[in-house]
């Protein structure tokens, strides 16, 4: 059905958002093929799909997006990256999310090449946020990464 119509980009981008929330990656792939922008920004703070994946999407959506040509270090209007959103908000927005779940996603972001040292407009980095939240395992991961850049 999508291939038979010429949908405006904003429609494709909105459908992509919802297909990721609902783990319909076949539909998401079709949206990208039809012209949806993987780095599209939306909402009050101009967040990307990767930012939203940290806040609202299942972990499998993050895996899906990391396999694509997504901007890992995009910053929203407040200077926050996917790392900032992951550490600051995932536990409160995803029912049952634990520090271990957040650590697993943080490891994937690092492996994909995301920069955890970017500071937001309040001069907060992923490390300072993890320290504030008391996420000891994430603090250790980020400190280890800083001492061994090959991680």
* Main-chain dihedrals φ then ψ at residue 42, nearest 5 degrees: -150, 165
Residue extents of the structural domains in the chain: 38-147
CATH number of 38-147: 1.10.10.10, 3.20.10.10, 3.40.50.2000, 1.25.40.20? 1.25.40.20
The model's pLDDT over 61-113, given as tens digits with 9 standing for 90+, comes to 999 999 998 999 999 999 999 999 999 999 999 999 999 999 999 999 999 99
Q: Which residue reads 């993050």 in tokens?
A: 62
Cα–Cα distance, 18 to 10 (Å, whole number): 13
> Which residue matches tokens 């297909």?
19
17-50 pLDDT, tens digit each: 999 999 999 999 998 998 889 999 999 999 999 9
The predicted-structure confidence for 104-146, as pLDDT tens digits, reads as follows 999 999 999 999 999 999 999 999 999 999 999 999 999 997 7
Residue 113, pLDDT score: 95
CA distances to 31, 52, 71, 79 from 59, rounded to whole Å, are 20, 11, 18, 23
């Amino acid at each position: 059905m999508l291939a038979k119509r010429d949908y405006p980009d904003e429609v494709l981008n909105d459908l992509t958002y919802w297909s990721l929330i609902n783990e319909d990656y076949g539909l998401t792939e079709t949206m990208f093929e039809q012209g949806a922008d993987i780095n599209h920004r939306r909402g009050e703070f101009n967040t990307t799909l990767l930012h939203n994946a940290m806040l609202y999407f299942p972990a499998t959506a993050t895996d899906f997006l990391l396999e694509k040509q997504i901007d890992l270090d995009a910053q929203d209007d407040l200077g926050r990256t996917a790392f900032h959103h992951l550490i600051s908000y995932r536990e409160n927005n995803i029912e049952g999310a634990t520090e271990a779940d957040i650590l697993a996603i943080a490891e994937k972001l690092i492996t994909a090449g995301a920069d955890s040292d970017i500071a937001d407009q309040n001069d907060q980095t992923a490390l300072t946020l993890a320290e504030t939240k008391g996420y000891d395992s994430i603090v250790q991961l980020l400190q280890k990464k800083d001492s061994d850049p090959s991680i």
